[in-house]
Structure 1
Amino acid sequence: MRLALLTALAMIAFAANSVLTRLAIDGTHMDPVSFALVRVASGAAMLGFLIALRGGALPLLRRRRWPGAVSLALYMIGFSLAYLTLDAGLGALILFGVVQISMFMHGYWRGAAPTLRQISGAGIAFAGLMLALWPGPGGQADPLGAGLMVLAGLGWAAYTIIGRGSVDPLAATAANFLLCLPLVAVLLPGAALAVTAPGLLLAVMSGGLTSGLGYALWYAVLPRLDQGIAAIVQLSVPLLAILGGAVLLGEKVSLLVLLAAVLVLGGIGWALSAGSPRADRS
């Protein structure tokens, strides 16, 4: 029960991050480039502060640290730039669809094939997301925006897989954010900055709370989750973001969305009832 609650809290944090981003950028409180930079910087500051309170050094110079930092930077950059042309729903669908497929493929390559129930559950949940988010506001996806969101999905999938081996999730997440910051600053293209006080507050909340602390929590629960289940559970995030938008941003929720909720949650529940994937012992 405790593991389920912690996992649900991490998914809520991810969904809240999407709502904060939509509120800041769609509300013209902040441009996407500035939002991404403040988000990473505030996440690094929050996590660094917690590490300082706890005591101990950050594992910044370890060779294995760079893959996590690079994958996090790819996610941040792809996510921020994709939303210049993609609507939020379609972007979330692409992001978490790529994450799910990537993690299932990684598990298969490592010899842990998903069970039939996990595959069918993922299919039901993904069908629910298709119903809720396709085509979404704005119609078909811009090819460049879709490609950038695919990059973000690959980055998040890699970050998730790498995080499964972390022995100190808080320190690892703090180190990743600190190393990610200069990468994001260098790789993000220049743009006319548009920053307001509400936008700055939203970016700090997104970075320090729903990103930094949310990712640290995700790192903590990942070693206790089956990889296939970890992929499927993340499919709930786009739907949670839609529901959060309805409650916090006044967005309308149609019967179609309610039906999608049944499919997504039912698919996840069906997949969670499966046993661990079969390992290839040959």
Structure 2
Amino acid sequence: MIRPVLLTLLSLMALAANSVLCRLALAPEQTPLAESLIDGATERVLASGAIDPVSFTLLRLVAGVGMLWLVIFLLSWKKSEPQKPVAGGSYRAGFMLFIYALAFSVAYLDLDTGAGALVLFGAVQLTMILAGWLQGQRLHFIEWAGVLLAFSGFVYLVLPGFSTPSFSGFILMTLAGIAWGGYTLKGRGSRTPALDTARNFLFTWPWLLLLILWLLIEGGEWTSRGVILALISGAITSGLGYVIWYATLPFYTGTQAAVLQLSVPVIAAVGGVVFVSEPVTMTLIIASLMILGGIFLVITGRWYLQRTASKAG
């Protein structure tokens, strides 16, 4: 029981951290990245449009490939008798990963954080719930109540800062959410999450070549800060984070995994309070209770109903 909980927490924290890194690198406004005390003075490090979205996506995915295959090499090197790895990953999953990463980055040029998060995670949840329904998964009343409560809490969290999104930004972020939902569903049956994730990242190479061609023709905007943020996002919070996420998925149904991801904005908001000194508001507290309460209902609802049915039988 401890292992699933730990993996879930780590994966959700990685997803939240990845969102923060992307926002810091691409946001048009100045956003505090860190504050450090030097000689009694506070030095504020800012990242404002530190890199363009195409370059960010390219570096992010390339860094993910490098980190993941380094992990695979180290794991195989420690084995006394190297075994032939089980085939995993696919070009389809790699394409979904690429579409998510690129559409997510470009969409945030036209959307603010609240609107973008609402569109993204709303699309993820609807995609995964619809896919589960088409595969014959039926939600019980308690699970529906949990879904509605969690989604309502998420809307309540972002509604104060919500502005009407641009049509192109809305379409791109919806596409990113559908792609991430599909990528997550592809990983539910993974038996070798590290290898599968590494191959999925590697299988983005045809699309990365198109990004390189685009940058050669149109040019890009690179700063050392933007490059560092992209590499951290790709190697740590994307590469290693997605491995943990794939390892977590077998413990949950598609609906449960979809609702779990609604906790990511809450974790990111808490990270903003801790690391960026953002204020703790009553809106954040109420929304967090609603989202976490909804997740609790979805995760425990089916177990409770099945247990009740078995006792009755």
- Asked whether the equivalents of residues 54 and 211 of structure 2 are also in contact (C-alpha less than 8 Å), the reply is no
Structure 2 CA distance for aligned equivalents of residues 183 and 9 of structure 1: 29
Q: Which residue of 2 aligns with 1:235?
A: 262
- Asked whether the equivalents of residues 34 and 195 of structure 1 are also in contact (C-alpha less than 8 Å), the reply is yes
Structure 2 CA distance for aligned equivalents of residues 54 and 73 of structure 1: 26
- State the Cα distance separating 1:263 from its structure 2 match: 0.9
Structure 1 CA distance for aligned equivalents of residues 208 and 272 of structure 2: 27
Amino acid at match of 2:153: G
- State the Cα distance separating 1:258 from its structure 2 match: 1.8
Confirm or deny that 1:134 pairs with 2:159. Answer: yes
Counterparts in 2 of 1:154 and 1:184: CA distance versus 1, 3 Å: farther
Amino acid at match of 1:196: T
Confirm or deny that 1:21 pairs with 2:42. Answer: no
Confirm or deny that 1:163 pairs with 2:187. Answer: yes
Counterpart secondary structure, 1:114:
coil
- Asked whether the equivalents of residues 93 and 238 of structure 1 are also in contact (C-alpha less than 8 Å), the reply is no
Q: Using CA pairs below 8 Å that are at least 6 residues apart, which structure has the higher relative contact order?
A: 1
Structure 1 CA distance for aligned equivalents of residues 210 and 86 of structure 2: 22
Structure 2 CA distance for aligned equivalents of residues 192 and 136 of structure 1: 33
- Asked whether the equivalents of residues 188 and 250 of structure 2 are also in contact (C-alpha less than 8 Å), the reply is yes
- Asked whether the equivalents of residues 119 and 271 of structure 1 are also in contact (C-alpha less than 8 Å), the reply is yes
Confirm or deny that 1:92 pairs with 2:117. Answer: yes
Q: TM-score, normalised by structure 1?
A: 0.90
Confirm or deny that 1:186 pairs with 2:213. Answer: no
Structure 2 CA distance for aligned equivalents of residues 2 and 166 of structure 1: 17
Q: TM-score, normalised by structure 2?
A: 0.82
Residues 93-128 of structure 1: CA distance to partner in whole angstroms, max 9, x if unpaired?
111111111111111111111222111111111111
Aligned length: 275
Counterpart secondary structure, 1:112:
coil
Q: Which residue of 2 aligns with 1:37?
A: 58
1:1-282 to structure 2, matched below 5 A, reads: 1-26=2-27, 27-55=48-76, 65-134=90-159, 136=161, 139-186=163-210, 190=215, 191-275=218-302
Residues 12-71 of structure 1: CA distance to partner in whole angstroms, max 9, x if unpaired?
0000001111111222222211111111010110001111222367778x7x71111111
- Which is worse superposed, 153-162 or 263-272? 263-272
Structure label with greater radius of gyration: 2
Structure 2 CA distance for aligned equivalents of residues 178 and 135 of structure 1: 40
Amino acid at match of 1:227: G
Counterpart secondary structure, 1:235:
helix
- Asked whether the equivalents of residues 22 and 105 of structure 2 are also in contact (C-alpha less than 8 Å), the reply is no
Counterparts in 2 of 1:57 and 1:174: CA distance versus 1, 3 Å: farther
- State the Cα distance separating 1:273 from its structure 2 match: 1.6
Please identify runs of 4+ aligned residues in structure 1 that moved more than 3 A: 56-60, 187-192, 250-253
- State the Cα distance separating 1:252 from its structure 2 match: 3.5
- Asked whether the equivalents of residues 59 and 65 of structure 1 are also in contact (C-alpha less than 8 Å), the reply is no
- Which is worse superposed, 121-130 or 269-278? 269-278
**CA root-mean-square deviation:** 2.1
Amino acid at match of 1:165: G
Of all paired residues, the percent bearing the same amino acid is 40
- Which is worse superposed, 36-45 or 47-56? 47-56
Structure 2 CA distance for aligned equivalents of residues 90 and 58 of structure 1: 42
- Asked whether the equivalents of residues 6 and 221 of structure 1 are also in contact (C-alpha less than 8 Å), the reply is yes
